[in-house]
Each structure stands twice: as structure tokens, then as C-alpha cells.
Structure 1
Amino acid sequence: MEIVMIQHLDKDELNFIDNYLRNSGFDYLDVRLELIDHVASAIEKSMEEHDLEFYDAFKSYMVVNKKGLERNYELFKKRLQKTSFLVLGKEIITPKFLIFFCVAVTVIYMWNKFSTDPFPYAQSVWIAIISAGLVYFFGTLPKKRYRISSLEMLAWPLVASSYAMNLYFNLWVDDSYFLLKWPLVANILTAFLITAIAAFLRLFFLKRKQTNTLLAKT
């Protein structure tokens, strides 16, 4: 999603809009970014056309448009959630994550080739999931300011896919029939899930950075 950088409102005014939206129940950062741009542009226009101060223009705008913002919030949230898998997929096929995937496949292969113990497939995926969950939880602070609806939409399918893979192929045990017969498939699936989790975190930090850049401008 591309955000137009507002040219005239200062960082305190942009933060005021962000805090107002968040305190009014607009919880998700990715949706708020679109609304901040929309609200700021409208307020800026009103300030110029009617010679108003920021707070007067803001109050006038909210009196008329708050209900519309609530509707737009839900529409934007659904749209972003629907495109979340596409966004994650595009991130996974970037050069950096294709290299990451190849490295993960190689590491697992070399582990099984030279180690006396088989690679801990299920354990490694769950460690990645738990680590990503902790990073996301603490990364949304303070006051869960950085919650992202499209990423939270992705979280449960990633967890469910990991659980289904481990349950179906019985990767928790060393003598799994699947591991004995098709070790390369297990290798690729595990590397892919770990790569997807890493891409998930990359998207989170990119969105945080985008927000801080927008709200820190002067």
C-alpha cells in the first residue's frame, strides 16, 4: 500500500490524528495509515479554503465525517485482509527471501547429511512461530499502537499450516515414514514455512518504519 506523504501538516498534527483514531477504536495500523492520509488531506484543504486553524478544521471535519470514517475503516480492513496472502507471497519471492529459502534448505540438508541426529523439523518451525509471535506482540507496544490487521490475518493460517504439516507427516518422531521415504519434501516444506514466518516479520517491521516515517515528518 502506498501512502501519500502530506506536505503541510506537522508531526504533532499527524500524531494528533493518529492518536484520535486509535483512541476511537481504529485499532489497526495499516488501516489507520490510509485514514490518516485521507483525513489529513481533507483537513489541509479545509484550512486553506476557509482560513481555519488545524484544531478547528479537525473538529469540523469529524462532526460531519466520523461515521463515514468508521465505515471506511471496516472496508479498508477487509480489503487489506483479502490481499494479505498476495502481499506475503510477493515478499517471499523477492531475491532476499529466495536466497533465505535456499540457505534454509541447504542447512537442513547438511544437518541430516553430517549429524547423527535428524533435523528437528517440527521443533524448528514451532520455535520460529513462537519467536515471531513474541516479536510481534512486543513490537506492537506501546498500547498496541502497531497492530496490523493484514498480518494478524496471516498468523492463524501460518500456525494451522505448521500444525497440519507436523500432524499429517508425523514429523515429531525420528522414524517417521514420511521422513524416511521423502526427506527432501519435508526439507522443502519446513524451509518454506520458516521463510514465510521470516517474511511475515519483515512486513511487520516495514510497516512500523513506514508509520514512524510518516508521523515523524516536520
Structure 2
Amino acid sequence: MMKLNPTEIKFIDTYLENSEVNFADIRMEMVDHVASDIESEINAGDSRSFYDIFKDYMLANKATLLKNNKQFIKATDKKLIKLVFKTMLSWQSFGFYLISFMFLYILAINLNQQKLHQWFSVLPLITFLTLGALYFGYFRILKLDRFSAIERMGFVYFMCFHAFHLVSMITENAFEKLDQLYLLLFVNCGMVIMFSILLVTVRLIQEYKRNYKMVA
């Protein structure tokens, strides 16, 4: 049976990347799918060159492939949110919750209520900027392959960040009247969410290392 050579496989990959299929894991699946279909046409008796077959194939199927790309990304977002909530219930998150609460309690002893609230308000922003800098350095400067689940974790964190910030703004006056313990419990929940997002991200990177051998 006829198999496409590495140059032809690379051509398909480059074409899909130039068509804004940016994530390497999604693109790999599409390359396998396209290559398999073209090989089937050749083995069925199509004697044209690879490039002629590929051109006609993409004219007929490109719109469907790009639509599947968008659907895959949406499905990835839902999967990541479920993973984060599941991780929040793990023993690792429970252990982090206890350690984090002790740290916040010690911090609260040394700060008044107003300063404590100000510090808590900027905590998500500091984390967001730190993760953003790590992402920019890891994937942009080093120019490593982009993977859907890893990059979409930024979207999940972005939603959590705004939710936390919104609640903080709405309840600013209420926090001034709240017992300090309730304030610590609320902020600690936010820190556990951030910890769970980080833990899921590390696990995804490890998974991609095993499956794709492309993440440094």
C-alpha cells in the first residue's frame, strides 16, 4: 500500500498551520486524517501527483476541517473546567488549602482589615501576570509548539480571575464588616482554584511530553 513520505506529511502540516490550525495536538490529528484519506485515494487508483490530489481534497474539505478545529477548542474548554473542579477536590488541593490558610492567617495577624483586603485584591493580578510571563517566555520566546489544552488554561484562569475580581469589588464594603475568618476562607478558596489550575497545567505538560515528545 502507498504511504505518503515525510516531505508530503510536512507539507500537509505546514498548510494546516498556515490555515490557523495553530495547536500542534489538533494539527497532528488532522494531518493523520488528511494523509489517510489521500493515501486511500492513491491506493484506489488515482494516479495524479500528491499535490494535485491534496489541492482538490482541501477544496472539498477545508471548511469542514476548520470547523472541526473550532469545535475541538470549545470541547477543550469544557474539559479543562471539569478537570479544575475535579482537582480542587483532590488530596493535593486539600493539603494546599491547609498550608495556604495558615499562611494567610499569619499574614492577617500582621495587617489590618483594609490592608489585608488590598493585598488580597492584587493577588490574582500578580498571579495572572506571572503566569502570562511564563507563557510568553516558554512558548513565544523559545518558539515551542502550542498545545490546545495548555494554552486554553489561560482562558480558564482568565474567567476565574475576573470572577474573583468581580466578587471582590461587589463585596468590598461587606468585607470591611465581615469577620476576618470569613475573609480568609473566601480568599483561600480563590488560591485553591489558582493552585488547581497550575496543577492541571503541569499534568497536561507532562502528558504532552509523553504523547508528543514536543514540549521541552
Partners of 1:188 and 1:16 in 2: how far apart?
Answer: 54
2:129 alignment partner in structure 1: 130
| Residue 26 to residue 205, structure 1, CA distance change in 2 (3 Å) | farther
Which is worse superposed, 145-154 or 68-77? 145-154
Where structure 1 has 5 or more consecutive residues not aligned to the other structure, the ranges are: 1-8, 171-175
With structure 2 as the length reference, what TM-score do the two structures score? 0.68
Could you give the per-residue CA deviations for residues 155-210 of structure 1, whole angstroms, max 9, x where no partner exists? 3322212322332333xxxxx76255322221122122222223223333333343
> Contact 1:85–1:154 at 8 Å: present in 2 too?
yes
Give the secondary-structure state (helix, strand or coil) at the position aligned to 2:20: coil
| The one of 164, 167, 170 aligned to 2:169 | 167
1:106 to 86, 98, 102: 102
Q: What residue is the counterpart of 2:183 in the other structure? A: 186
Q: Give the corresponding residue for 2:18.
A: 23
Superposition pairs of residues 75-90 of structure 1, within 5 angstroms: 75-90=71-86
**Amino acid corresponding to residue 157 of structure 1 in structure 2:** M
| CA distance in 2 between partners of 1:190 and 1:10 (Å) | 55
Paired residues in the alignment total 199
Name the SS for the 1:193 alignment partner.
helix
Give 1 or 2 for the bigger CA radius of gyration: 2
Return the TM-score normalized by structure 1: 0.68
1:155 aligns with 2:150: no
CA RMSD of superposed structures (Å): 3.9
C-alpha deviations, 1:4-41, integer Å up to 9, x for none? xxxxx9999987765543332013x3xx5245235425
Q: Which runs of 5+ in 2 are unaligned?
A: none
Report the identity percentage: 15
Alpha carbons 2:21, 2:27 under 8 Å: kept: no
